[in-house]
Homo-oligomer: A and B are copies of this chain.
Amino acid sequence: MTRVLVIDDEAPILRALKINLTARQYEVSTAADGASGLAAMARDRPDVLILDLGLPDMDGTDVIRGVRGWTSTPIIVLSAWGQESQKVAALDAGADDYVTKPFGMNELLARLRAAVRRASPAPDEPVVTTGEFTVDLARKVVTRAGADVRLTPTEWQLLEVLVRNTGRLVTQRQLLAEVWGPGYQTEANYLRVYVANLRRKLEPDPSAPRYLLTEPGMGYRFRP
């Protein structure tokens, strides 16, 4: 189910969105100001963010930047009519789309569908195979030598980020932000511990990794 976070300080709008989106099978969480919105973003990991620019505590573009600092989750911005410079600023700060109030629910829903569709370009190969093990992203199963490998939730999240970026170098900051949350970008220790766990469970020779590679000073890379 698609998860949506709505950040808006106007209770009627919040309620209307929640009712309409829930009725259409979205899973909705809400926040009423920028600070708790950013916290909810980190906690709930929604698939889309709907953000009202007129928040009481923070400037809207700062919220966008706060989100963009660690994730590329689509952001749809809501704002009053006619403030073109605000539109430009929001889009340049990293928003994906812009809806002017008052808006029709159908338009918002269409933009929501478009944003979700763009964000998941192709549910391409959900199964990745190496010479040693197989990762099924959709079913959340790892197989090695015919048997299932048991991974803890954190181990799985870490492996998933690496596999979704197969061949690409993933920086430590990015891994920490995506697995532990944006507040953990300096806890490089966690990475060492959990990469070691994964290697012990997946690599033929954990001390000479062939698939989960270290790039000293930069990050890690999954190479099938």
- A residues lining the B interface (CB < 8 Å): 72, 84-85, 87-88, 91-92, 95-98, 104, 106-107, 109-111, 113-114, 118, 121, 138-141, 150, 152-153, 156, 167-169, 215-218
**Cβ-defined contact, A118 with B96, below 8 A:** yes
A97-B215 Cα distance, complex, nearest whole Å: 39
Nearest CB on B from A191, distance (A)? 16
**Cβ-defined contact, B217 with A152, below 8 A:** yes
| Dominant SS among interface residues on chain A | mixed
Q: How many copies make up the complex?
A: 2
**Cβ-defined contact, B107 with A87, below 8 A:** yes
- 12 contacting pairs across A/B (C-beta < 8 A): A88-B107, A91-B113, A91-B114, A92-B110, A98-B111, A138-B168, A140-B168, A140-B215, A141-B167, A141-B168, A150-B215, A156-B218
Q: Which residue of B lies closest to A148 (CB)?
A: B223
**Cβ-defined contact, A111 with B140, below 8 A:** no
Nearest CB on B from A43, distance (A)? 24
**Cβ-defined contact, A87 with B110, below 8 A:** yes
- A169: B residues at CB distance < 8 A: 139-141
Q: Which residue of B lies closest to A88 (CB)?
A: B110
Q: Which residue of B lies closest to A216 (CB)?
A: B152
**Cβ-defined contact, B84 with A113, below 8 A:** no
